[in-house]
Structure 1
Amino acid sequence: MKVSIDQDKCVASGQCVMAAAEVFDQRDEDGIVVLLNENPPEEQADDVRQAAALCPALAITVDE
């Protein structure tokens, strides 16, 4: 699994962090998503998929 983000699309809702805090974080100054791990382990895959599905801006791409 490879995860990528588009910070330009991000609306700082924080849904990704709530779903997969090991993979996503937010910048302190504006809340924009920060990718902590572009290749998360298999045990985090479901959380990452949920984060992508919950993102209101569709700023997360997951390639299986």
Structure 2
Amino acid sequence: MSSLLFLFFFGSAQGVLMTYLSHCASLFPHLFLSLFYFCLFIFNLTLIVFSFTLYKKDSP
């Protein structure tokens, strides 16, 4: 149950971040933006693996 809560919290925080970034996208250079999206992709993969291990640990 805690893994679902964890996933919801980080998903909503990321949604807020993406909304803010889409408003500020004109201020950033294109290279910085693609680097940021790449880091966000790596962060998503890490989050999925981490929440999956939490889910495996939670379930009996």
When the two structures are superposed, what TM-score results if normalisation uses the length of structure 1? 0.31
Greater share of helix: 2
Rg larger in 1 or in 2? 2
Structure showing greater relative contact order (alpha-carbon pairs closer than 8 Å, 6 or more residues apart): 2
Greater share of strand: 1
When the two structures are superposed, what TM-score results if normalisation uses the length of structure 2? 0.32
